[in-house]
């Protein structure tokens, strides 16, 4: 490239991610280490770290990757894991979590990441960013390894709210498809509704009602509805978005993470049991490493809060540097895609159609009673 080419090259557009550096179980040093990993991989990434400047600034100054690309926003307080969301909403203005979310609200950052208290983060995000029109309850979406593919399925809700009625589940389907469409460039994602069986008569009444509603809204929502799916279908190749309530989704997520760690630990124990087993494993060491990477929960760390006027990613509280880096990468990619505006428009259109659908069902029911 000549000097003239360099002079006229378009400047690299920085996308800033706001990070609650004091939240979580592992401490600010691990969060900063995750920021370093992300900064090394992406020259377009800018970072705003929120927390005690006396603690954070020396950590940032240690790393050349952060000195020119990370700023520290001082905040005195920290939201602990056992604090009630209501208390944080009333008294949390001086905390790193509040400052982190406000950075997105005020336009200082394009997305927020926190390893802190999930309930408090959701409450603050709803308070400061507000919900999108047509959304009753935001949801947390997570990635799930897909069988026979390098891509992932998306499941929601995985913990924002333990209850969900038929309208909430229909909204989750729309939020999930908007997220999946932008994450994997799939024009018509396939949606499944998690249930205790695939037969139409099974499940609670709100599940069966949501089944009909999600099917009716498929054309407006631009997705293909595959019907009920079971727990064994969560990693299946025939579905892309799995819809469920926050209680069921959170239990499924934590169970899968525990199972993945168990498989990893058992595999390591068997390989290390003797010199014979270690020797026998040598030809397959590359395969084992790929498997470990594939099922490592840290590499898909980060639940996205969908349904808000802003992008917020919740990292696991116990995330190490690899997990924090994965959450920051996810926040950056979502901010870069600009899917928030398109999702808002789609939700408004589907909300109107859902009302018309219900009104038509009500009219048909009355006519049927009149004929009798």
Tokens of 186: 């799939």
Residue 24 has pLDDT above 50, yes or no: yes
Q: By CB neighbour count within 10 A (0-12 exposed, 13-18 middle, 19+ buried), where does 337 fall? A: middle
Residue ranges of the domains in the chain? 8-130+308-337, 131-303+339-372
Percentage of residues in the chain having pLDDT higher than 90: 35
Task: Decide: helix, strand or coil at residue 304.
Answer: strand
* 339-343: Cβ within 8 A, 24+ apart: 339/178, 339/179, 339/181, 339/182, 340/132, 340/309, 340/310, 340/311, 342/178, 342/182, 343/132, 343/174, 343/175, 343/178, 343/179, 343/306
Domains 8-130+308-337 and 131-303+339-372 fall in the same CATH topology: yes
Please report how many Cα atoms fall inside a 13 Å half-sphere around the Cα of residue 273, on the Cβ side: 10
More confident residue, 151 or 321: 321
Say what the pLDDT of residue 9 is: 47
7-21, 110-124, 176-190, 310-324: range with lowest mean pLDDT: 7-21
Strand spans (E) along the chain: 15-20, 45-51, 70-74, 111-114, 139-145, 152-156, 190-194, 224-229, 241-243, 303-306, 311-314
Say what the pLDDT of residue 284 is: 72
Residue 333 has pLDDT above 80, yes or no: yes
> pLDDT-based confidence at 161, cuts 50/70/90?
confident
**Mean per-residue pLDDT for 11-31?**
84
What is the per-residue pLDDT across 182-222, written as a single tens digit (0 to 9) for each?
A: 778 888 999 999 999 888 888 888 899 999 999 988 888 88
* Residue 172 φ then ψ, to 5°: -60, -40
The H or E element containing residue 287 is helix 285-294
Say what the pLDDT of residue 297 is: 61
What is the per-residue pLDDT across 189-199, written as a single tens digit (0 to 9) for each?
A: 999 999 998 88
Please report how many Cα atoms fall inside a 13 Å half-sphere around the Cα of residue 92, on the Cβ side: 27
More confident residue, 145 or 139: 139
Say what the pLDDT of residue 239 is: 94
Say what the pLDDT of residue 248 is: 93
CATH code for the part of the protein at 131-303+339-372 = 3.40.718.10
Say what the pLDDT of residue 135 is: 83
Say what the pLDDT of residue 292 is: 65
**Mean per-residue pLDDT for 107-113?**
92
Say what the pLDDT of residue 150 is: 66
Residue 317 has pLDDT above 90, yes or no: no
Query: Contact 22/28 with Cβ under 8 angstroms?
Result: yes
> Which of 219, 232, 238, 23 has its CA nearest to residue 148?
238
> pLDDT-based confidence at 10, cuts 50/70/90?
very low
* Angstrom distance (rounded) from CA 332 to CA 337: 9
CATH fold of 8-130+308-337: Isopropylmalate Dehydrogenase (3.40.718)
Task: Decide: helix, strand or coil at residue 326.
Answer: helix
Q: By CB neighbour count within 10 A (0-12 exposed, 13-18 middle, 19+ buried), where does 227 fall? A: middle
More confident residue, 353 or 251: 251
**Mean per-residue pLDDT for 19-47?**
90
* Angstrom distance (rounded) from CA 353 to CA 347: 10
Say what the pLDDT of residue 312 is: 93
Query: In the structure, how many helices (H) and strands (E) does the chain have?
Result: 15, 11
**C-beta neighbour count of 182 within 10 angstroms:** 18
Arithmetic mean of pLDDT over the chain: 84
CA 93 to chain centre: 25
Residue 7 has pLDDT above 50, yes or no: no
């Amino acid at each position: 490239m000549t000097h003239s080419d360099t002079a006229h090259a378009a400047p690299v557009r920085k996308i800033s991610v706001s990070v609650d550096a004091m939240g979580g179980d592992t401490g600010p040093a691990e969060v900063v280490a995750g920021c370093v990993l992300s900064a090394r991989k992406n020259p377009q990434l800018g970072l705003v770290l929120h927390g005690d400047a006396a603690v954070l600034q020396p950590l940032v100054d240690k790393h050349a990757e952060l000195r020119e690309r990370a700023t520290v926003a001082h905040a005195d307080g920290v939201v602990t894991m056992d604090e009630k969301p209501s208390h944080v909403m009333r008294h949390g203005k001086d905390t790193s979590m509040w400052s982190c979310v406000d950075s997105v609200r005020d336009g200082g950052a394009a997305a927020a990441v926190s390893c802190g208290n999930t309930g408090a983060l959701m409450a603050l995000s709803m308070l400061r960013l507000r919900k999108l029109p047509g959304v009753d309850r935001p949801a947390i979406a997570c990635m799930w390894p897909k069988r026979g593919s390098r891509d992932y399925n998306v499941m929601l809700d995985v913990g924002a709210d333990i209850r969900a009625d038929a309208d909430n589940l229909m909204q989750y389907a729309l939020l999930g498809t908007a997220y999946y469409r932008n994450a994997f460039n799939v024009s018509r994602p396939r949606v499944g509704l998690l249930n205790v069986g695939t037969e139409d008569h099974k499940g609670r009444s709100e599940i069966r009602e949501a089944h009909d509603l999600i099917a009716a809204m498929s054309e407006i929502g631009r997705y293909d509805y595959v019907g009920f799916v079971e727990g064994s279908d969560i990693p299946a190749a025939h579905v892309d978005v799995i819809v469920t309530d926050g209680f069921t989704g959170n239990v499924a997520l934590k169970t899968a993470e525990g199972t993945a760690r168990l498989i990893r630990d058992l595999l390591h124990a068997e390989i290390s049991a003797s010199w014979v087993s270690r020797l026998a494993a040598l030809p397959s060491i590359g395969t084992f490493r790929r498997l470990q990477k594939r099922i490592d929960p840290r590499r898909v760390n980060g639940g996205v809060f969908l349904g808000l006027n802003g992008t917020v990613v919740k990292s696991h509280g116990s995330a190490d540097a690899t997990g924090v880096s994965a959450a920051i990468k996810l926040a950056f990619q979502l901010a870069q895609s600009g899917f928030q505006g398109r999702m808002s428009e789609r939700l408004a259109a589907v909300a109107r159609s859902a009302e018309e659908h219900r009104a038509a069902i009500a009219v048909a029911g009355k006519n049927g009673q009149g004929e009798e």
